[in-house]
Structure 1
Amino acid sequence: MRLIIVGILLGLVYSCSATISGPFLFWGHDKVSTLKTQALVEAGSREESLTQLFGEAKAIVVFMRNTTSRLEGIKYPRFQNLVKSCTWTYLPERSLATEPFGRNAKIEVISLSGHGEDDDAEIVTAYNDALRIYGDGEVLGILASREEEAHFLAKRETAEEESEKTAEGTPTDSAEEIEASFIYVAEGNKAVLSLNGPPELLLTNETLRLEEHIKQITFDDQHAKGYGRLSITFMHSGEKCTLRFKFTLARGTWTLRNVEVEYRELKSVLLARGDEYTLPSAPLGFSYRCSANDLSFVNPNKNESLQNLILSDFQVQPWLNGRKEFGEVYDCVGFVSAPILSGLFVVTLLLGILGLGISAMLSMHTPNRFESSRSKQLTFTVQE
């Protein structure tokens, strides 16, 4: 029976090259904990740690999701308990420095349906089956997503291709070229904003879905002054609507704080909803992605017609500096790791001991009366 199970597992191994996308959740193998300190090191060091992990694992089980949205523990209770019972780590980046395919001969790839209860049972069952074959601490579990084309920057036509189309008689707009896409790349690849759907601008009496935009997108780089502006002009019913996203730069970290909106005769500055911990921000050279929540820009003045701007499932990076793809990703998905919990437990324990010691010291009192020779009576017995 054991040989049959091994044969089935090996038959499901993917020998061809595949591509997976983040964020990633690793669990099960003892060496998973070594990845937790690799967030801000060079790519070569990350690749070495991953290669070593993939090689030392006796088997790898990769679970593929069709979305990058946040997992809710309520919908995946069995999977949550499985992860908590072993070593695990969370990697928010979009791609790995190296992938497990080709690094290990025993890899099983399982596609999840997207239904919470079914996926919860399938993950736990498949992983436990691998544990029975290879043993505890020897099987590496990976939860990832399918590669999404929206993560990459839009391919722009070169001037030569455009000139060839013009020579062949393809009609071109002598004025402004319009396109419908949700990936906005500034000229010279200076900044990029990627969305899963069109921005929605809420007015007092209507909602605008900004689907078409002018190809000429600019980024006003004021690095020395500590800010930059990504300007995108949309066309809605023949009228222009311009959005200027402002990024501030301080101590090597950029933050998206507000957007200036111009539509018809209306003009206003909408503030990003959030605080210093929830606003989109990342170090220079890194991008920020959030698929769990929409980003809302609200008008502090409720009496104006421009009320709200909503961005859904977005990824953004200013100061791209000519790169053709996003940098490493900072994600809005929060998590609590085992070292953090253990550290909090130790601190709580030490504080409890310190409190008991201080309480004991405060309860000590010096005696208020002392014995003397006068107060003592000397007694003795004489025997005859």
Structure 2
Amino acid sequence: MKFSCTLTALLLLGTLCSCIQASDVPVFIWGKPSVTYIPALTQYETSEFSALIESQAGADTFTIVFVENSLSTEDLSKCKLGTQTCFRNLAKINRKSYLPNVQNPLEAFEVEEKNVQMVQVSEDGTLSERIIPKGGAVAIVNLQGGDFASHDATIDSLYSRLHEEFDNILAVYTAETPSFSYSSLIRRTRQAKQDDQAPTMKTLIVPNTFIIAYEKFSAGAADQTLTEVSFDKAVKSEANNSDSTLQIELNGPSGALVLNFLLTQGSWEIVGVQFDNTPYYLRHRVHVNQDFSYRCNSLAYVTGDSKKQIVFDEVQIQPHWGAEDGTFTKFGDAWNCVGFTTPGILTGLFLVAIFIFIGAFGITWMMDIRTMDRYDDPKGKTITVSAAE
């Protein structure tokens, strides 16, 4: 019972925290010459924001609050008119304070003893009633629609008119709700990760003899789109096997692939590949240590005339000889098809060689510096050095 109550309390606390975070909106404050400096990364609670407004708005201050239906910091940075921001007039204000995260800022103005006037602004900029500025009063101007550029122009013209009528004005620009939800972004990101699942690997095994795992096998004309071919079983050909040779057949409803392996001096290699009784060849020889597997992201074979092609995508393969006790059950260490001398390695070696040459050249010059063997005597005759010396 105690555990269930504790769990319920934690869930309620988590829900409350998520709701508080979801109500954070940006706030701009300007108009007063003594606006307090506010760090850009500060997150204000409603009580802290109320204290800030009370410190700026005295009994003789008229406060006007411009309220959007929804606004987030992303709107301030991404809203553009051509190459300029939608908030051109707001950006021109020299002395203003910006709070990127404030919890329910409108609650700071919902005080009974204050004279609060609610004004609606239509999409064409018409006010529902005239605003008369006076000390200690608050006017909340609700901006309709989502045209930030027109709202910016309305705010500029209305603030300029009111400032001409009343000097002591504190202006606030904010919103009721945020237009950008981080929880929805996280949810979309998680959904994208779930949709983008890793491709399924196909594995075929001949017990104690052969293992292959691959993502896709395709075959067809080299100059056209290849067709995917599926295999459902791997079989060891007893007629073509010995202590040093191994033949494996991969069979499926749309084709058959024959792989021939050769064991020589502690290493194995692929010596022959046939698909639908047609031999295919690899340009680079696959030669791997006996206890290692071979892995490649794209293993391609072509016919002798290079007109047909077969490709293994993301393949790992390993034959094995003499594992009658059942010890060969998984891949050994992988030998990757990427060569050891990649372009990056060659570039690094070339740069190292240049630095070594420059260093050796500099050291040779330093070793050639000679110490003076004669010194000038201020009381004696001046030293004369001839050209021969």
Q: Same fold (TM over 0.5)?
A: no
TM-score by length of 1: 0.34
Bigger Rg, which one: 2
